[in-house]
Chain A
Amino acid sequence: MTDTWSWLTFAGLGAFHGLNPAMGWLFAVALGLHRQSRTVVMVSLVPIALGHATSVATVAGLLVLAGAFIPHNLVRVGAGAALLAWAAYHWHFRHRHRVRFGMQVGLWGLAAWSFLMAAAHGAGLMLWPVLMGTCLDSGTAGAGFASPLTSAFTGVGIHTLAMMTTTAAIAVVVHEWLGVAVLRSAWLNFDLLWVAALVTTGVLLVGNVF
């Protein structure tokens, strides 16, 4: 995979995550409506992006760590299996999570909420195929941390930027123009799309396509 395609994939997945109402834009809109403030919508985006980035970066870091010690083929298959397992988990238990934060949430709470939502949805895992391509190219274990870590964090940065831009764009459009009535018709079942994305990436990894 060329670098350009990798960066585009990071960005595309960021946009996909940002589109999902469960990843934050809807919470930002709701907080803005409750506190009757456009500023609140915009400020909320910062902890949402921060929580998401931390969650995704943690998972990316794990991959780099694994790549330093474990043969890459094994990492690849393990990552694929993890994605498929997560898809199954998400399918069965997606609605069973404890709800820890509500409408009175503060900025740190919102970051923690975003972190947990991204983790529970396997958002970071979804980046593994493209991370495999950019970080673990050399094919052998023990190639070191520095270069893979830089690539991983660049990828996570691009991903987060795209996620935040999408989140901000939708939040503003819904808050300023469309209104939440649009939820009734335009809220596609992201849980289904999400499971499909997890399965696809899992299969790609196990099948060694990247």
Chain B
Amino acid sequence: MPTWKPDPSFYPSPRMAMKAAPETLAYVAAFDPDRKTPDALAVVDVDPNSTNYSQIIGSTAMPNVGDELHHFGWNACSSCLCPNAPHAHVERRYLVVPGLRSSRIHILDTKPDPRNPKIVKVVEPEEVADKAGYSRPHTVHCGPEGIYVAALGNREGKGPGGIFLMDHETFDVRGQWEMDRGPQHFAYDAWWHLGHDTLVTSEWGTPDTFENGLIPEVLLGAKYGRRLHFWDLHKRKHLQTIDFGDKYQLVFELRPAHDPTKAYGFVNCVISLENLSSSIWTWYKDGDKWAVKKVIEIPAEPASGDDLPPLLKGFKAVPPLVTDIDLSMDDKFLYVACWGTGDLHQYDVSDPFNPKLTGKVRIGGIVSRATHPGAKNGKLSGGPQMVEISRDGRRVYFTNSLYGAIDPQFYPDGIEGWMVKLDADANGGIAFDPKFFVEWPAPHRPHQVRLEGGDCSSDSYCYP
């Protein structure tokens, strides 16, 4: 039913969104790496006053097996208040949950019972392929023309990958987003600067080069993605490519400033072929063009070959493998997940070109296997991976699995899933909440976290 007032979870500006009430629920995508039981969308109680705090209180099983739930998003968010394309009375209600491996997209209704989302529609991979020509749906963002889904492959599972649009009320696949893709071939993440009419995309590789794990020859040959692409958001036209150079591989998560007047953002590069380091780059507007600058480099840590998986033995070092980053709503703190070493870093990025390390915790890690005060098992597997920040910036949640086929390449003894939470000081500094350790029930592993009402990677804004 139509509503008279805008959805209460829509905020005109990021400053206003920071004042939202704390979330009480977190939605977490969980998948079975053996593809024997259906994947599920789990609901975790994150209300510290609840008796079920830090427990999984609901779980919606998918209708098939082997989907590999990964990233997901809301049907609508604060961008619905934008003046050029206003849809203020759409509800933030449905979670759009793709299977990265199956290319099947599940629509879950969170409204009748937020603790027990119900599947109301399933878009089969054939519909995505027939109407948009894509497969392997990854990032989901609510935006000016509906739901934008970044897909890693074309319908044959090769390149080019790209973006397609879905209707934010009927969930019909509306077709390919690009009108002129220029030289873009690889796809991964996509997001935008609404204030600058610019969409940005990043690169992983085509599905045939990652669905059975990373291929060492492709990686060492610098054949995975290493570029950023800048697009005209409304003309849907490719404008500019920035190549990071053949030392750098896997340019992943895009975190543009939330303030729509600011023309900069952060992206992580997973690995340098030169020294196994990870790096964070700031992209920014430089006159009429976009430019990038490397602002953080996190080095690999020396290690004994005996402690390393076969892939890394020869290197005698643990790469940090920064595979996710997230930016707080006020654009002040950047969180950096080092899935290899087990670190999670917090940087003050008030000056986006001079980040300062303000906090650090360690949990899991290929060599360190660091523990958590709430964990029963002393040696944790996996490491900090998908990070999500509450709108007020005071709570940070993360999980430990990267991708079914890649997990065993770096953690050959297997990954036991967990989800943890950090408390963040408003002036910088992070610490584990000792009461929050979710031991994930096997055989599933957790991946992306979305918070009730929105979080720091769900919404975009048109007003400063």
Residues of A whose CB lies within 8 Å of any CB of B are 21-22, 26-27, 29-30, 33-34, 95-105, 113, 180-181, 183-185, 187-189, 191-192
Residues of A within 8 A of B194 (CB): 102-103
Bound CA–CA A104/B233 (angstroms): 11
B463 touches A30 (CB 8 A): yes
Bound CA–CA A22/B89 (angstroms): 12
Q: A100-B234, A104-B197 are in contact. List 19 more A-B contacts (CB 8 A).
A: A21-B83, A21-B86, A30-B82, A33-B463, A34-B464, A95-B167, A96-B174, A98-B145, A102-B84, A102-B194, A180-B13, A183-B6, A183-B81, A184-B11, A184-B12, A187-B6, A188-B4, A189-B5, A191-B2
Does B3 have its Cβ within 8 Å of any Cβ on chain A? yes
Contacts A21-B83, A184-B11: A102 and B233 contacting too (C-beta < 8 A)?
Answer: yes
Bound CA–CA A104/B4 (angstroms): 30
Chain B residues 194-217 with CB under 8 Å of chain A are: 194-197
Bound CA–CA A179/B318 (angstroms): 51
Bound CA–CA A168/B202 (angstroms): 42
Does B85 have its Cβ within 8 Å of any Cβ on chain A? yes
Min CB distance B266 to A, Å, is 21
A29 touches B83 (CB 8 A): yes
Residues of B within 8 A of A101 (CB): 84, 234
Does B88 have its Cβ within 8 Å of any Cβ on chain A? yes
**B236 closest partner in A (C-beta):** A98
Does B426 have its Cβ within 8 Å of any Cβ on chain A? no
Min CB distance A33 to B, Å, is 6
A181 touches B2 (CB 8 A): no
Residues of B within 8 A of A95 (CB): 87, 90, 146, 167-169
Report how many residues on chain B are interfacial, defined by Cβ distance under 8 Å. 40
Does B100 have its Cβ within 8 Å of any Cβ on chain A? no
Residues of A within 8 A of B86 (CB): 21-22, 26
Contacts A102-B234, A103-B260, A181-B12: A189 and B83 contacting too (C-beta < 8 A)?
Answer: no
Bound CA–CA A77/B174 (angstroms): 35
Min CB distance B133 to A, Å, is 19
A103 touches B462 (CB 8 A): yes
Contact flags (1/0) for B270-281 with A, using CB distance below 8 Å?
A: 000000000000
Residues of B whose CB lies within 8 Å of any CB of A are 2-6, 8, 10-13, 16, 81-90, 144-146, 167-169, 174, 194-197, 233-235, 260-261, 462-464
B84 touches A181 (CB 8 A): no
Residues of A within 8 A of B197 (CB): 102-104
Which residue, of B90, B146, B234, has the highest number of chain A Cβ atoms within 10 A? B234
**B464 closest partner in A (C-beta):** A33
B2 touches A180 (CB 8 A): no
Which residue of the partner chain, among A21, A22, A34, A96, contacts B261 with CB atoms under 8 Å? A34
**B235 closest partner in A (C-beta):** A100
Which residue, of B6, B174, B463, has the highest number of chain A Cβ atoms within 10 A? B463
Contacts A102-B84, A104-B196: A189 and B89 contacting too (C-beta < 8 A)?
Answer: yes
Which residue of the partner chain, among A29, A99, A183, contacts B234 with CB atoms under 8 Å? A99
Min CB distance B74 to A, Å, is 15
Bound CA–CA A9/B13 (angstroms): 37
**B81 closest partner in A (C-beta):** A183
A-B contact pairs, 5 of them (CB 8 A): A21-B88, A34-B261, A102-B194, A102-B234, A184-B12
**A94 closest partner in B (C-beta):** B87
Residues of A within 8 A of B5 (CB): 184-185, 187-189
Residues of A within 8 A of B84 (CB): 27, 99, 101-103, 105, 113
Min CB distance B85 to A, Å, is 4
Bound CA–CA A48/B224 (angstroms): 47
A30 touches B85 (CB 8 A): no
Residues of A within 8 A of B2 (CB): 189, 191-192
Bound CA–CA A185/B81 (angstroms): 12
Bound CA–CA A99/B4 (angstroms): 24
Residues of A within 8 A of B168 (CB): 95
Bound CA–CA A105/B234 (angstroms): 11
Bound CA–CA A187/B3 (angstroms): 11
**B169 closest partner in A (C-beta):** A95
Min CB distance A93 to B, Å, is 10
Min CB distance B257 to A, Å, is 14
Residues of A within 8 A of B3 (CB): 189
Residues of B within 8 A of A191 (CB): 2, 89
Bound CA–CA A100/B197 (angstroms): 10
A99 touches B144 (CB 8 A): yes
Residues of A within 8 A of B13 (CB): 180
Bound CA–CA A192/B89 (angstroms): 10
Which residue, of A21, A102, A185, A192, has the highest number of chain B Cβ atoms within 10 A? A102
Min CB distance B460 to A, Å, is 12
Bound CA–CA A181/B464 (angstroms): 11
Bound CA–CA A183/B145 (angstroms): 20
A34 touches B195 (CB 8 A): yes
Residues of A within 8 A of B195 (CB): 34, 103-104
Bound CA–CA A189/B196 (angstroms): 28
Residues of B within 8 A of A96 (CB): 146, 167, 174
Bound CA–CA A188/B168 (angstroms): 20
